[in-house]
Amino acid sequence: MKKSIFVTLLILSLGFLFSSCGTTRIASFPQMYDEDPVVMLIMPPINNSSAADAKDYFYTTMNVPLAEAGYYVLPPAVTMATLQKESAYDAEKFVEGDLKKFGKLFGADVAVFTVIKSWNKSLVGSAVIIEIEYIFRSTKTNETLYHRDARITCDTSTGVGTNSLIGSLLIATADAIKTAATDYVSVAVKCNKSALKDVPYGKYHPKHGADKELSAMPEKINISASK
């Protein structure tokens, strides 16, 4: 009995390790290590979804995961005011353009673009399905240093289980109401945290420069993030 538990644990651990070790960060994002950027400028998200507020949800939640990854992230509130003043609020104009002026004006090494492609609430139940692209471009070379194309299903359910049909229907209704009133800021937080967890560590992270062999996710991902 004991032996079977340990063998199961071993198989599970090995399976998890192999499934999470598709490729390394140095292989996936070599230019992040070559340029070793320090200062990140969060650009206002490009919102192609039907959710009008999605732009603000994502703008206000981008600096935390990048600061936690060890970067100096430019202060978002005064940065936004400056971008508006400089007529640079519409990031669409710059996502493929020359970024050198942002290096000069803000001292930024990287401009972080997000393109929200869709934001859909499930009709029954409690999921929000978001398609989003993250593009980190160098203000020195205009090259893309990091790219992630993500489809994220964010579960916002009540988390209460039931075995009866009526119980399931009641919970489905409660979840639908809850989803409608959900604080979508936390949905954006979960999305960013899940989709950007393999960003190479920056200057202020204790593992800066020592994470090259850590696993990286594929460029295109389809993941679940629970609240």
Partner 1 sequence: MKKTIKIIAITMFAFLFLSCTSTNMYSWYNYQEDYYHYLKNSDDKSLEKLTKTYQKIIEKQTATRGTVPPGIYADYGWLLLQSGKTAEGKAMLAKEVELYPESEVFVASILKRFK
204 binds partner 1 per the rule CB under 8 A: yes
Sign of the CA dihedral running 193, 40, 199, 136? positive
What are the residues facing 135 on neighbouring strands? 113, 147
Binding residue for partner 1, selected from 107, 159, 167, 209, defined by CB under 8 A: 107
186 binds partner 1 per the rule CB under 8 A: yes
183 binds partner 1 per the rule CB under 8 A: yes
Please give the Cα distance from 79 to 85 (Å, whole number).
10
The residue among 38 and 51 lying less far from partner 1, judged by its C-beta, is: 38
Which DSSP category does 29 fall into?
-
> Which range, of 89-97, 103-111, 130-138, 168-176, touches partner 1 by CB under 8 A?
103-111
In angstroms, give the least distance from the CB of 91 to partner 1: 16
Q: What are the b/e assignments for 132-167, b being 16+ CB within 10 Å? A: bbbbbbbbeeeeebbebbbbbbbbbbeeeeeeeeee
In sequence order, what are the residues at sequence separation of 6 or more whose Cβ sits closer than 8 angstroms to the Cβ of residue 47? 54, 55, 116
The residue among 80 and 115 lying less far from partner 1, judged by its C-beta, is: 80
The residue among 116 and 189 lying less far from partner 1, judged by its C-beta, is: 189
7 binds partner 1 per the rule CB under 8 A: yes
The residue among 59 and 134 lying less far from partner 1, judged by its C-beta, is: 59
82 binds partner 1 per the rule CB under 8 A: yes
180 binds partner 1 per the rule CB under 8 A: no
In the three-class reduction of DSSP (H, G, I as helix; E, B as strand; rest coil), residue 221 is classed as strand
In angstroms, give the least distance from the CB of 42 to partner 1: 10
Q: Which alpha helices (H) appear in 29-111, and where do they start and end?
A: 30-35, 54-59, 63-68, 76-85, 100-106
Binding residue for partner 1, selected from 28, 47, 49, 63, defined by CB under 8 A: 63
146 binds partner 1 per the rule CB under 8 A: no
Amino acid at 141: T
The residue among 205 and 227 lying less far from partner 1, judged by its C-beta, is: 205
Radius of gyration (C-alpha) of the chain in whole angstroms: 20
8 Å CB contact between 139 and 111? yes
What are the residues facing 216 on neighbouring strands? 23
The residue among 171 and 194 lying less far from partner 1, judged by its C-beta, is: 194
Tell me which residues touch partner 1 (CB under 8 A). 3, 6-7, 9-10, 13-14, 16-17, 38-39, 53, 56-57, 59-61, 63-64, 67-68, 70-82, 105-107, 183, 185-186, 189, 204-206
